[in-house]
Structure 1
Amino acid sequence: MKIGILGGSGKMGQWFSRFLTENGHQVWLWGRNPSKLAPVASRLGSQVITQPDQLTEMDCLVISVPIDAFEDTLKEIAPFTKPEQMVFDLCSVKERPVELMHQYLPHCRTLGTHPVFGPGAKSLKGYNFILTPTTGAETELAEKVKIWLEKHGSTVSLISPEEHDRLMSVVLGLAHFIAIVSADTLLGQNLPGIAGAGGTTFRLLDTLTKSVLTEDPNLYASLQVNMPKLPGLEADFIKRATDWAELVKNGDKTGFAHRMQAIKDKLAQTEPGFEKAYQDMYHLKQP
């Protein structure tokens, strides 16, 4: 199969280029600067699309561009796509990209996809992959893609774009928000010896904050502002954080313990055996 990756010089574009090439597919990379793609393609064993009309030759297109560039990319490639050509996107949000693919590529077989991992993954094994079909034809395609992904060890879910974005507001949006604000708070304390004084719980927080801060700030900013359900979720988090801070400020030990116990009881109902998370935390590699 001939697969064109749009945004082939990006981290995830390169990841899928390598993975698909290793699994026997012919991979072609497309981007705004073909000369920039040449060394990338050479290293990955791919080829470069130098003219947009070459897109028509592809059996499948994978769009791996930032969400802010997604609509412009669709406008640019639409005249060079063909009926029944498969088109997948890799955006971390789904409602708007799926809507745009339906708008600009109604003649293609489109499917919203989200690999829920970063370019540091060695393979698909053990990682989640979400597919968001909205029609019968898309569901049929998604079932075939699901089988292929599962053969490579991925755990695959089929959900609606709306449900995907609701989940991602927590899984990505809130998690990143907490990590960034935590890093901002810690750096504001000016405590150079803090790493040597921290235990396992702090190392977990420290690893989370640093791992998020290694990523592209523009990417994370784009994710934050393009998740429509995230502002309300973050507002709820801030309100709850303020309530907890008031308990501490007022020295309300009883109130704090009562509220924490209520959360523990609720979690025990929804996730029996959650207590093992404490031991799981100690499986973190020691410094």
Structure 2
Amino acid sequence: MASPHPLLVFDHAARAYGEVTAVAGVSCTIAAGSFVALVGASGSGKSTLLKMVNTLVEPTGGKVLFGGEDVTTLPPARLRRRVGYVFQGIGLFPHMSVAENIAIGPRLTGETLPPERIAELLELVELEPGMASRMPDELSGGQRQRVGVARALAGEPELLIMDEPFGALDPITRDALGTKVRELHERLGLTTVMVTHDMAEALLLADRVLVMDAGQLVADETPRALLAGAGGEVAQSLVAVPRQQAERLAAMESPGEIPH
């Protein structure tokens, strides 16, 4: 059986800011339909690499191919219609209603989303259609981020990229939204690439984990392989925290164990 075709290819993709190298020649292929987590310490280059996909940051070396085409040659409006983007800090326009925020992407390409499509998108992220008329400051953080996901899906993208999408949320809301995004990934047949600093989140949600360090890709493993010790020193240092948490919880559940 043939493997899924590559939707996204980083071909020695690099980005420098003067003498500072943020991304140092990363090469990898992401198959259509996969859910990939991009992890690493702050400053490792993971967000810069992600932003090359929709040309918020352009490579200074190598290239990024989306559907076989160099992203820097594609019309920006066409590219951003095919690539949904959920970013850190939610980023809703405060002066626009929920409906207007959701419709902003298609509107930039000359399309008007009908009210029934807005309602459908809200229901998709488990929000009441009646919220369409609300303003962002009337919503909780979790509700605003759900609107952000709905906005990213408005153009029916092939690829969903997410840059620390749940970082500002409380743990319960974060877990619920992560589960919802994975469900939407499956239901809509998306390809998803998510930057996160939370290795536990990456291990739970992704099919594949890419580990960045000092601008380089240092590990490319499945969650199962990482938990089994693969990926090298940097990857295992990131896995250590969720592993220790899991071991601690298991110990607390053992008969006679006194939590401390």
Q: Greater strand share, 1 or 2?
A: 2
User: Which one scores higher on RCO, CA 8 angstroms, separation ≥ 6?
Assistant: 2
Band the TM-score falls in, shorter-chain normalisation: 0.3 to 0.5
Q: TM-score, normalised by structure 2?
A: 0.33
Larger radius of gyration: 1
Q: TM-score, normalised by structure 1?
A: 0.30
